[in-house]
Structure 1
Amino acid sequence: MNVVCLGPYGTFSHEMAMKVYEGDILLLPTIGDVFATAIDQGCPGIVPVENSDAGAVGPVMDCLREYPVFITGEGYLNIRHHLAAKNPAGPISVIYAHPQAHDQCRRVLETLGAEIIHTSSNSASARMAAQSVDAAAVTTSAAALSEGLTIVQEDIQNVHTNITRFIRIERSPGPAVTSGKCSFIIDPREDRPGLLYEILGIFYSLSLNLTRIESRPSKRDIGNYVFFIDVAVGEGLDCALSRLRSMAEVKHLGCYGLMEEK
């Protein structure tokens, strides 16, 4: 295999992988499987990390913290969600949707009056909808075609400028880059006034541009968080990392640029 990503056939992760790899693509059922296989087999994995409308992809954020991986590249994909059904002329009583797809299409879905059932992927949504004449799926055009569904309504995403950012994960860091981003997970392991201000102040004092900050539960206690930070590559990063490590636990996920498309 050359690369692993979330499957089955027709997911946006699969589409992103096909844009940047010409070799074999192994499609796996869960995000955790992608991370585990990338570690065990020493191959790259492609996972979605954030969406312009729905925000961070929680399972990916958690796996970045849990698994010993590095980010070695990023890429962007325009996202188009469609409503598809086996019987497009009939009533729809249930709609299958991945949680992220549900969130990204909630404005249309809320008007349909159907039960929403969450699935593991857009392809799984199409497969489950194909089993019933009164079901529909929020899915991709490729997955709808693969499962023999008819698209009932195109582009049901909340906004038409819907973009997902993907990252490539590997068990070893990538080569040094002169432009792009560096990613960190910062765990202060304490809660006190001014803590986040001090952390962000390190980047400000070194004129480093933060491109993203995201908080996630530490899973130790309610109200206790870790911070995911992306910063533009620039002089002073080594100094910032040293100062951060003097006040918090830091996982350096690597510095990287855009993945080259084939």
Structure 2
Amino acid sequence: MEEMISFLGPKGTFSHEAASLLGDNLVPYCTIPAVMESIDSNQCDMGIVPIENSIEGPVGITLDSLAHDFDLNIVGEVIISINQNLIVNPGTKLEDIKDVYSHQQAISQCHNFIEKNSIQPHYAVSTASAAKSIIGDKSKAAIGHTKSAELYDLDILLKDIQDVDNNETRFVVLSKDETDPSGNDKTSIIFSIYEDHPGSLYKILGIFNEYEINLTKIESRPSKQGLGKYLFFVDFYGHYKDNIIKKIIMEIEDKTYFFKVLGSYPEFK
């Protein structure tokens, strides 16, 4: 039986595109925590959620949910280019458009285009729902994926209207299962330090330097335990079943107040 894969819906979004790279048996959910809950409750075998964008930065709800709410493993990653398009009703011209609708991140990614053309931006739940909301009104446009236009028989008036060309979003694949080493892996961890004093974080990161392990990302998030208290999300090369990585994990765990391995997974190519 084909695995069921949950994703942040609806269909026609960039999350839908990322999920389609994993399989065909796709189930949309309306929030990131709902995607994770679908895996935790065994409704789906795996799920995919956005974790960071090259322009807008980390997706906070994904990081917070992984840290506090769910014990799931990251078993893969997918990186896709985000090319934003101006979606309109058939026959619409640029000068007809007064309002534009899209997800908050898409609006932010196309700020220069919107301002240059004096169009009023409005937030929508998703790029696909934005496309649906403009049907039949030539004074309104949406910003989003080409699939959103296809779903509702709309046209692409202009392609690639995002402010920055190298706009990419990284998604992580979540499961209750674990992965075996592939020889080209990354590991993700979360930790918090005991006290906020000089050198605390440096001592942790120095462990990676000692073993010559390359970090690919470090991100901080409020721990929700008060001002000045943070969780650190770190990605680095290697698999947690590798002997060197096992030593690193043990040393970090001894020096931290909170520690969690989010998973090891093949690097996306």
Same fold (TM over 0.5): yes
Matched, 1:88 2:95: no
Per mean C-alpha deviation after superposition, the further-off stretch among 134-143 and 170-179 is: 170-179
CA distance in 2, matches of 1:254, 1:117: 37
CA distance in 2, matches of 1:194, 1:110: 44
Preserved contact between residue 99 and residue 118 of structure 1 (Cα < 8 Å)? yes
Matched AA of 2:158: Q
Residue of 241, 258, 261 corresponding to 1:252: 261
CA distance in 1, matches of 2:215, 2:268: 21
Deviation at 1:184, TM superposition (A): 0.3
Preserved contact between residue 88 and residue 151 of structure 1 (Cα < 8 Å)? no
Deviation at 1:132, TM superposition (A): 4.1
TM-score between both structures, scaled by the size of structure 1: 0.90
TM-score between both structures, scaled by the size of structure 2: 0.88
CA distance in 2, matches of 1:111, 1:223: 39
CA distance in 2, matches of 1:242, 1:142: 46
- 1:21-170 alignment runs, 5 A limit: 21=23, 23-41=24-42, 42-65=44-67, 66-86=69-89, 88-89=92-93, 91-130=96-135, 132-170=137-175
Deviation at 1:104, TM superposition (A): 2.2
- Residues paired across the two proteins, number: 259
Residue of 7, 20, 23 corresponding to 2:22: 20
> RMSD of the alignment, in Å?
2.0
CA distance in 2, matches of 1:49, 1:6: 12
CA distance in 1, matches of 2:191, 2:118: 42
Deviation at 1:5, TM superposition (A): 0.5
Percent sequence identity is: 33
Preserved contact between residue 125 and residue 137 of structure 1 (Cα < 8 Å)? yes
- Cα separation, partners in 2 of 1:112 and 1:216, compared to 1, 3 Å: farther
Preserved contact between residue 184 and residue 267 of structure 2 (Cα < 8 Å)? no
Residue of 177, 186, 195 corresponding to 1:181: 186
Q: Gaps spanning 5+ residues in structure 2: where? A: none
Residue of 222, 225, 228 corresponding to 1:217: 222
- Cα separation, partners in 2 of 1:102 and 1:223, compared to 1, 3 Å: farther
CA distance in 2, matches of 1:131, 1:59: 34
Preserved contact between residue 76 and residue 267 of structure 2 (Cα < 8 Å)? yes
Deviation at 1:231, TM superposition (A): 0.4
Matched AA of 2:168: I
- Cα separation, partners in 2 of 1:178 and 1:147, compared to 1, 3 Å: same
Preserved contact between residue 6 and residue 30 of structure 1 (Cα < 8 Å)? yes
